[in-house]
Structure formats: structure tokens, C-alpha cells
């Protein structure tokens, strides 16, 4: 994880540093605490100037300060991880490797071929000195944040940055679309005193019949959000990048997915774990589940082993716990996604090394009110939680006392139950179940000081709830149980695994059931295709900014290119069966994989969104809609600071 930033001025009368505020630099340094430096390139005869600012979080190889510059005056800023596609040795730094490949490119096609081959999350800025070109972009899914801001026509300046800040000009920041990579001919822009962006789109095949129509639609969509003096054009040669995943298989089978046993639930509607075993008795389903485990296991392996493990680094771990520090953390609710990631991480993380399970809870308004609400809820989900977590809840109460009862939100309860499952799978592992408790006062304080800048430019109530929950969870400050007592703990792990991408590909959201009921498998296919297409601007840029603020790196195994291609190759009926009840039908293939991995009650937990499981959604207002603009996310103006 790094913080990267570039400011370009064209014939501007203002100093270039005036366009880079101190608060942006502060946010960038938090992302990259291991090295910070800047470089200014002035091309006087062409009247343009570039400032490059790089802030490095050291993850692999030797610490490599950014920006990098070579003998040809090319400059490179990189925020990414290469897991496949281009070889990066165990002792090499991927920033240097990618820069070396870029320097050897002799054409636009060479550059496009390079970025088409990279597997892993990335955002980059590359100044090609010989052609006076500035290249930049994000990976296919947009797993790394990159924002752009354009000043007014008088200043003729623009900025690219991993994170935003207050703006004196009032110009809006927007996320760079993850629809391809972009190139700016600085020589031409300086001559015409205008700004033109050339776009190189992602495509499954550059010979697609609808490629031009698709490009026109994207061009129109992106252009409408740009200032009038900024122009976006498709490259004249109509070159494109090769998408790193295969297209979605939209085959619809006429055979309906039948449950192997009509007795799939008990009289109370609680789904039985044994149902999954009955599915696995079918050779085809068992083979698919095992194939899924294999490809997801490899994705997790890459993400938990690809980092430096420094045994001498000082931590704030509890002294009487494991003498080794945790390098890997999981955003952990005890739900199916986080449980599978934790179980697979356990296969590859050195046994003597703890794994941190980050579990966030927001203080409930009134415990009495909470009990009343629970009594009124008699549906499938609450019954299931009571059945699968009763013993865990009793044990936890005995361990921690009543002072934590106001934080016993649904995700805390299922998280404790999930911990017991993981301990049963591998009792030799130190599992640090980190109870992260957030009060309303601290939520308001940190949202104002930090979180609102990171969620921006997104601004809905849903963004606020999810963004705040992930920020506190990934910070990793809470308590762990040590010999029956809760002790303060701060997770030292630099890598944070998150399960995002599972619901989008495996029909995990409630809206998928609505869509299936209304439009069948054809409609569900369209919805899933749309989900993956919009994940960059709905989720991933925000989550990268949020987690990166702690000097940690978000890694997304469910969005590994090989995982996505495997799931995309399957008909939707092999991945989910929404004729079956919640807790079985959605994400069916993942539930079967979980059962194969030895998981039990968590394998049939219904989907519960983090904003409800952590109880943040009801902490401040019960009347808001998720899509409403959130007044709490309003950024202060420069005058208010």
C-alpha cells in the first residue's frame, strides 16, 4: 500500500506546491509511513511542470522510496501488488520490476501489453519523458484508489492522488474510472492550453462487434462528470487492454436446482448443516466445491505469504501471548466469507504466527431496547443465531463479564462462535479474536477528523455506515482474551484480508433474490454482471482509502483474477440456488466449500451486512435510507479549518 500523487500545471502563474495542500500530504503519509519524498519536473520550453509525491508502505523486497526516476528521466509512482503475470522474485520489489518493464516499452502497445499481463491490485502514474506523456490508471476491478481533480481554466492544472483533501479552489475530486488507463500528451496540452485525456479501454476482445458502441457509452458517461474544458477521447488506433478475466457465463439451464432432501430445515425454518453434506454426496457438486477451494486457496496463499516478515519489529502485543507478531488480519464477523478466508489463511501462515480476527461492534443505544427488539424478531436469521451461538455467548459472558454486554451485537456473537470453529479446526494456532468496541462519541470524533475525507467522494448513508465500520475494524485497536481476562491489544498486521467480492459474484445480497423472483436466472445473470462492473466505484476505492489510512494494505482474495475467472466460467445455477432458503441458496458453492474445509454452523449463516451486524446502521438514525446523501459526511471548507 502506498500513497501516490502527481500535480501537473500548464502555463500556470501559481507555484505548483499551491495545488497540493498539507492535509492531502498528511493523508498520503498515513498510507505510506515507511518513506516519503517528492520530485519536481520542470520543462520550461514547453511550459509545463510536474510534481510527483510518493509515500511507501514497505511490503516486499527492499524498501524502495518513490517516486522512482531512471537515466532517461522517466518517473514512476506505484501503488500495487503483483501476484502473477510478471515474475517478482522473493527478494525483489514489484515497484522496481514494473518500472524496469515500463522503461523497456517502445510503443503504446507495449505498455498496454504490460498492464494487461499484471495480476493483482494496482494504481500507477508514469511520466514518459521522451514523449512528454503522463500515463495513469487503476486495475480492472479498481482495487486501489486513484482520484483526479481539475482546476479551473485559468489555472490549467490537475491533480492525481490516492486520497483527497480540502480544496481551496472548490474543485471536486472524483474517482478515476477503472475502465482502462489514460494518457495525457503534456506537450500538446501545453501548446493548445487545453487538457485532453486519451483513453485505452479494457476489453475481453478487441474484435468484439459492440466494442465501439460500448466505448461511446463509457465515453459519454465519464465525460459528463468532467469540467467543460477537459476532453476525453478514445485513442485513435482503438488499442485496448486485454481484460484479465473471462466473460460471465450466462448459460441458463432448464433443470431447476433441486434440494437433495425435502427435509432441508427443521420445523422452525432453521437451515441444517447436514443439508450441505447431502449436496456434497453428489459427485459433480463435490468436484466443483473442491475446484473452488483449490483456486481460492491459491489466491489466499499469495496474499498471506507475499510480504516481509520481520521478527525483530516491536509490537504492542500482550507479552504473555505468542512471542510472534501477527502479520495477517481478517475483517471478521464469523460469517461465511470471513470464516473461509481465515480457514484458508491458516493453511499457509506459519503456525507459530498468530492470525488476528478483527471484530467490530458499535455500542447499542439501550440494552433493554435491544432485548425488546430481539424478542420481537422471530425470523429465520435470529433463530439460527440463537441455535449456533448459545454456548459461545454463555462462555463469552463468563469470560468477559457484563461490562461488554452493550457491545454484544450480532456480529460479535457470530464472531465468537466462528472463533470456536476455527479453534476446533486448528487448536495449535493462536487466534487473536480482537473485540473492537466503538462508542457513539468516538464514532463522531473520528468521522469528523479522518473518516469523512477517506469516504469522499462517495457520500451516501450506506457509504458512511460501511466506511466507518471498516475504518474502526481495520485500525485493529481493541481487546483480546488472555487467560480469561480482556487485555488491550492493537493489531500489528499490515495485511488485512476482506471478503468483498463474494456476494457480488455468488448472489449473496437480498436484492439478488428479489431480482431472481422477478426475472429468473436471466435477470440474475444481468444483475451479477452489473455488480462486478460497478464494484470499483461503489466499494473498492473507498475501502482501499479506509484501510490504507492505518498504514495497512487491503487484500481481496475473492477478486483474484483466477478466482473471478473460475466463478465466471460457471453457470449461475452452479454458484447459487435461490429457490432454496437463506443460509443455503445464496453463495451455495461457497457454503459447500466451507463444509469441505471443516466449518460447521458458520457454513449456513445467512448473509448479514456489516452495517447491521455491527449495529452502526441504527446508532444515530433509524429513519435514513441507505441511498440518501449523508449529512454527517460533509467536508469542512478551507475557511472552517
Q: Is 2 a catalytic residue?
A: yes
**Residue that the C-alpha cell 502485543 belongs to:** 317
CA-based nearest residue to 305, from 522, 125, 90, 593: 90
Residues 110 and 564: their CA atoms lie apart, in Å, by 25
Judge whether 235 and 212 are in contact, CB under 8 Å.
no
3-state secondary structure of 40: strand
Sign of CA dihedral 385, 387, 388, 394: positive
Judge whether 432 and 422 are in contact, CB under 8 Å.
no
CA-based nearest residue to 487, from 353, 317, 363: 317
CA-based nearest residue to 633, from 466, 475, 500, 474: 466
Burial of residue 207, with CB atoms counted within 10 A of its CB: 0-12 exposed, 13-18 middle, 19 or more buried: exposed
3-state secondary structure of 504: helix
Per-position DSSP letters for 361-403, written without gaps between them: EE--S-HHHHHHHHHH--SHHHHHHHHHHHHHHHHHHHHH-GG
Per-position DSSP letters for 448-462, written without gaps between them: IIIIHHHHTT--BHH
* Gyration radius (Cα) of the chain, Å: 25
Catalytic residue among 2, 159, 388, 515: 2
Residues 79 and 94: their CA atoms lie apart, in Å, by 10
Residues 484 and 195: their CA atoms lie apart, in Å, by 63
Residues 512 and 262: their CA atoms lie apart, in Å, by 23
Active site residues: 2
Amino acid at each position: 500500500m502506498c500513497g501516490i500523487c502527481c500535480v501537473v500545471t500548464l502555463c500556470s502563474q501559481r507555484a505548483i506546491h499551491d495545488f497540493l495542500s498539507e492535509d492531502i500530504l498528511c493523508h498520503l503519509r498515513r498510507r505510506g509511513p515507511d518513506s516519503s519524498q517528492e520530485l519536481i519536473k520542470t520543462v520550461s520550453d514547453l511550459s509545463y511542470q510536474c510534481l510527483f509525491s510518493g509515500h511507501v508502505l514497505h511490503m516486499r523486497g527492499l524498501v524502495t522510496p518513490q517516486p522512482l526516476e531512471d537515466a532517461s528521466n522517466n518517473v514512476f509512482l506505484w501503488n500495487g501488488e503483483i501476484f502473477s503475470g510478471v515474475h517478482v522474485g522473493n527478494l525483489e520489489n514489484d515497484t522496481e520490476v514494473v518500472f524496469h518493464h515500463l522503461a523497456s516499452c517502445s510503443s503504446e502497445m507495449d505498455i498496454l501489453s504490460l498492464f494487461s499481463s499484471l495480476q493483482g491490485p494496482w494504481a500507477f502514474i508514469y511520466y514518459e519523458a521522451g514523449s512528454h506523456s503522463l500515463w495513469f490508471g487503476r486495475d480492472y476491478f479498481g482495487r486501489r484508489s486513484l482520484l483526479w481533480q481539475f482546476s479551473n481554466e485559468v489555472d490549467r492544472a490537475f491533480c492525481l492522488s490516492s486520497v483527497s483533501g480540502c480544496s481551496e479552489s472548490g474543485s471536486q475530486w472524483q474517482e478515476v474510472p477503472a475502465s482502462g488507463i489514460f494518457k495525457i500528451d503534456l506537450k500538446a496540452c501545453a501548446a493548445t492550453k487545453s487538457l485532453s485525456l486519451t483513453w485505452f479501454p479494457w476489453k475481453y476482445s478487441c474484435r468484439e462487434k459492440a466494442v465501439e458502441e460500448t466505448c461511446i457509452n463509457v465515453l459519454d458517461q465519464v465525460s459528463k462528470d468532467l469540467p467543460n474544458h477537459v476532453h476525453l477521447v478514445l485513442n485513435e488506433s482503438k488499442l485496448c487492454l486485454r481484460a484479465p478475466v473471462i466473460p460471465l457465463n450466462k448459460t441458463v439451464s432448464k433443470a431447476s436446482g433441486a434440494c437433495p432432501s425435502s427435509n432441508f430445515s427443521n420445523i422452525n425454518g432453521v437451515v441444517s448443516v447436514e443439508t450441505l453434506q447431502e449436496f456434497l454426496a453428489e459427485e459433480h457438486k463435490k468436484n466443483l466445491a473442491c475446484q473452488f477451494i483449490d483456486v481460492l486457496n491459491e489466491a489466499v496463499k499469495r496474499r498471506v505469504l507475499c510480504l516481509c516478515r520481520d521478527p525483530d519489529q516491536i509490537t504492542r502485543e500482550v507479552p504473555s501471548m505468542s512471542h510472534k507478531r501477527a502479520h495477517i488480519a481478517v475483517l471478521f464477523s464469523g460469517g461465511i466469507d470471513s470464516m473461509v478466508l481465515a480457514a484458508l489463511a491458516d493453511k499457509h501462515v506459519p503456525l507459530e504466527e498468530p492470525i488476528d480476527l478483527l471484530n467490530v461492534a458499535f455500542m447499542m443505544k439501550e440494552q433493554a431496547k435491544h432485548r425488546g427488539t430481539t424478542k420481537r424478531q422471530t425470523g429465520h436469521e435470529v433463530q439460527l443465531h440463537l441455535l449456533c451461538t448459545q454456548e459461545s455467548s454463555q462462555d463469552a459472558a463468563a469470560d468477559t463479564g457484563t461490562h461488554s454486554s452493550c457491545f454484544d451485537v450480532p456480529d460479535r456473537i457470530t464472531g465468537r462462535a466462528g472463533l470456536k470453529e476455527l479453534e476446533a479446526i486448528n487448536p495449535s494456532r493462536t487466534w487473536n479474536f480482537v473485540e473492537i468496541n466503538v462508542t457513539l462519541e468516538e464514532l463522531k470524533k473520528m468521522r469528523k477528523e479522518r473518516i469523512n475525507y477517506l469516504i469522499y467522494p462517495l457520500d451516501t448513508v450506506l457509504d458512511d455506515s460501511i466506511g466507518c465500520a471498516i475504518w474502526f475494524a481495520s485500525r485493529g485497536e481493541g481487546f483480546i482474551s488472555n487467560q480469561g481476562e480482556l487485555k488491550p491489544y492493537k493489531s500489528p498486521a499490515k495485511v488485512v484480508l476482506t471478503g468483498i467480492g463474494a456476494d457480488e459474484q455468488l448472489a449473496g445480497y437480498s436484492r439478488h433474490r428479489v431480482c431472481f423472483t422477478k426475472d429468473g436466472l436471466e435477470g440474475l445473470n444481468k444483475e451479477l454482471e452489473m455488480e462486478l462492473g460497478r464494484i470499483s466505484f461503489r466499494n473498492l476505492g473507498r475501502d482501499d482509502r479506509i484501510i490504507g489510512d492505518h498504514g495497512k494494505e487491503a487484500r481481496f482474495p475473492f477478486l483474484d483474477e483466477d478466482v473471478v475467472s473460475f466463478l465466471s466460467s460457471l453457470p449461475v445455477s452452479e454458484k447459487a440456488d435461490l429457490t432454496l432458503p437463506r443460509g443455503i441458496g445464496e453463495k451455495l458453492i461457497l457454503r459447500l466449500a466451507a463444509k469441505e474445509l471443516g466449518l460447521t454452523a458458520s457454513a449456513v449463516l445467512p448473509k448479514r451486512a456489516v452495517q447491521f451486524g455491527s449495529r452502526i446502521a441504527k446508532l444515530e438514525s433509524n429513519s435514513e435510507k441507505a441511498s440518501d446523501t449523508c449529512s454527517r459526511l460533509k467536508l469542512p471548507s478551507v475557511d472552517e479549518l
